[in-house]
Structure 1
Amino acid sequence: MKAMILAAGRGSRMRELTDDCPKPLLRVGGRPLIEYHIERLRSVGMTDIVINVSYLGEQIMTALGDGARHGVQLRYSVEPTALETAGGIRHALPLLGEAPFWLVNADVWCDMPPGMTAPLGDDLARLVMVDPPEHHPGGDFYLDETGRLHEQGEPRLVYAGMALMHPALVADLTDNTPCPLKPCLVNAIQQRRLGGHHHQGKWSDIGTPERLALLEQQLSHQ
């Protein structure tokens, strides 16, 4: 199975930390964030990895190269202008192929092994969902007892930035056009083709300097 790491974002909430350094290269525990994802993907046999880049993307490509140092093959989907999540995935489809792939945001931290969800079957995606953190108490979707995601319902969970995804979820989008992911997910819900997996282990959205510092503290105590 191939994998894709989303690494094109500006990281504007990190402010001065990302003025000269792309968020995926911010260091925690003595190494860049994105290296943790690469090593975890390699540990489960996902060695063909696509990374989308835009903001300061040259730095990412220079730092990681072709992936040989990490025992993987890295290929880059370059976005001259950031295409948002769904647009970025759509632009990378020629590199990803036609089979389901594992998707992970570069700026999340999770102890769940990559790919550890049920197979897609007829679904377009299966999202990893977590309990709402303090900064997003309202949640994103409701996950029912059969593993189906819904726009309405309680309790609501938050999309963790990791998913098993079929290319068909975004294949009909116009290439090189910015597009967020949520409308694609809502469309899949309406087709009854969006599943979810409730992860109850460790997870963090590293979206602010404070959360980055907290993760650093947590890693130092492991």
Structure 2
Amino acid sequence: MLFAAGFGTRMKTLTRDRPKPLIKVAGRPLIDYALDLAREISPDRIVANLFYKPEQLEAHLGPQGVILSHEAPGILDTGGGLRHAVPLLGDGPVFTMNTDVIWSGPNPLELARDAWDPDNMDALLVCVPMPRAMGRKGAGDFTADTAGRISRGGDLVYGGVQIVKTDELHKIKETSFSLNELWNQMHDENRLFALQYPGYWCDVGYPEGIEVAENLLKTKNV
């Protein structure tokens, strides 16, 4: 699942006339970088959630065979958006991807797939150590122990790619909620894990991030 519904407020005027996933980096819409990575693992289907200026994303994604999950009357955030899309995604664990980042190095989806252990994990988050998290503002998100179990705070940045089980989403009462609500449950059961990404990553959630990402694409192997 590709998260593409947000307002992109950190992008300021750049999202006045278009949704953030269609902002261009090195001449290509941001979401196309995510689509390239997704197609490399040959998924059964690719779903994107839409809310802000959905008609533009419909026109871009529909011809590419992406299944569209429309959110209405209000935006559902990442957790609510994922739950709303589960009928389109199918049963079982799913990949989710943020569409406002650039990865430089091995495909994070492939790395997560190879490390996934459903007997012990409810979610496996691909995280980037702070020194390789380009354009990151603020502190990290998580700390991992020697087994890979994670807790809040530390120098690992969640990169926006994960494998996650969706079974427990129905237990959350709110309609619109963050994936953090689901992760908190998994953390309390010692089933929330991280995989540390060996390459570089760039946050393109704000205008200055575009130049940082373009420089990364020029200087690193993507």
Query: Same-fold call, TM > 0.5?
Result: yes
- Partner secondary structure for residue 91 of structure 1: helix
Give yes or no for the alignment of 1:201 onto 2:213.
Answer: no
Judge conservation of contact 1:206–1:212 (CA < 8 Å) in 2: yes
Unaligned runs of 5+ in 2: none
Give yes or no for the alignment of 1:99 onto 2:92.
Answer: yes
CA distance in 2, matches of 1:221, 1:126: 29
Unaligned runs of 5+ in 1: 68-72
Check 1:47–1:26 CA distance in 2 against 1; reply closer, same or farther (3 A cut). farther
Residue 206 of structure 1 and its aligned partner are, at CA, apart by: 0.7
2:54 to 57, 80, 84: 57
Q: Which residue is 1:12 aligned to?
A: 9
Residue 20 of structure 1 and its aligned partner are, at CA, apart by: 0.5
CA distance in 2, matches of 1:140, 1:221: 26
Q: CA RMSD in A?
A: 1.9
Judge conservation of contact 1:120–1:164 (CA < 8 Å) in 2: no
2:28 to 31, 56, 61: 31
Q: Which amino acid aligns with 1:141?
A: F
Aligned residues with identical type, % of pairs: 36
TM-score, scaled to structure 2: 0.88
Residue 182 of structure 1 and its aligned partner are, at CA, apart by: 1.3
CA distance in 1, matches of 2:25, 2:63: 22
Q: Which residue is 2:171 aligned to?
A: 172
Check 1:38–1:47 CA distance in 2 against 1; reply closer, same or farther (3 A cut). farther
Check 1:128–1:221 CA distance in 2 against 1; reply closer, same or farther (3 A cut). closer
Q: Which amino acid aligns with 1:17?
A: L
Comparing 58-67 with 126-135, which one deviates more in the overlay? 126-135
Give yes or no for the alignment of 1:146 onto 2:143.
Answer: no
Q: Which residue is 1:181 aligned to?
A: 179
TM-score, scaled to structure 1: 0.88
- Partner secondary structure for residue 184 of structure 1: helix
CA distance in 1, matches of 2:32, 2:14: 18
CA distance in 2, matches of 1:23, 1:137: 21
Q: Which residue is 1:70 aligned to?
A: none
Q: For this pair of structures, how many residues does the alignment match?
A: 211
Judge conservation of contact 2:51–2:75 (CA < 8 Å) in 1: yes
In terms of fraction of residues, the more helix-rich structure is: 2
Judge conservation of contact 2:202–2:212 (CA < 8 Å) in 1: no
Q: Which amino acid aligns with 1:168?
A: D
Deviations 1:158-187 (A, max 9, x none): 211110111124232347x11011121111
